[in-house]
Amino acid sequence: MRDFSKANQLIISQRETAGDALATAHRLQHYCYFANQFMAQAADEAFRKAGFDTVLMKGTMKSQVMVMHWGRLVEPELNGSCDDIALIVEHYGGEYAGWDSPFIAA
């Protein structure tokens, strides 16, 4: 299991400096990649059962699942979300590529 705390601390710090409203709920998007569409579809179903919204994108080289939810840009909340998503990604042999969200001015 990866430790997301250092990466999330860095992103939170950068966004705070830029004036993002960290305590306001953001639509978070996590990017997950799988070797084939079958693993991506299985992971997509697991993400939905876990309460996440998803978009399944099929590609020629890899398949992507974008996993979405609402959350604040605070470290404990982000770390927990990343951990939950990474568990499913790892179970289905995928790669977790990180998260993003729209900027909300403070």
Does the structure show a pLDDT above 90 at 20? Answer: yes
Cα dihedral 5, 87, 69, 98 sign: positive
Does the structure show a pLDDT above 90 at 62? Answer: no
Instruction: Provide the b/e sequence for 33-69 (b: ≥16 CB within 10 Å).
Output: bbeeeebbbbbbebbeeeebebebeeeeebbbbbbeb
**pLDDT for res 75:** 94
Phi, psi (deg, nearest 5) at residue 88: -70, -45
Average pLDDT of the residues in 6-17: 96
Average pLDDT of the residues in 36-41: 94
Q: pTM for this one?
A: 0.92
Catalogue all structural domains in the chain, each as residue range(s) with its CATH number: 5-100 (3.30.70.970)
Which two three-digit tokens encode residue 4? 């997301």
**pLDDT for res 83:** 96
Which two three-digit tokens encode residue 23? 């305590």
**pLDDT for res 106:** 81
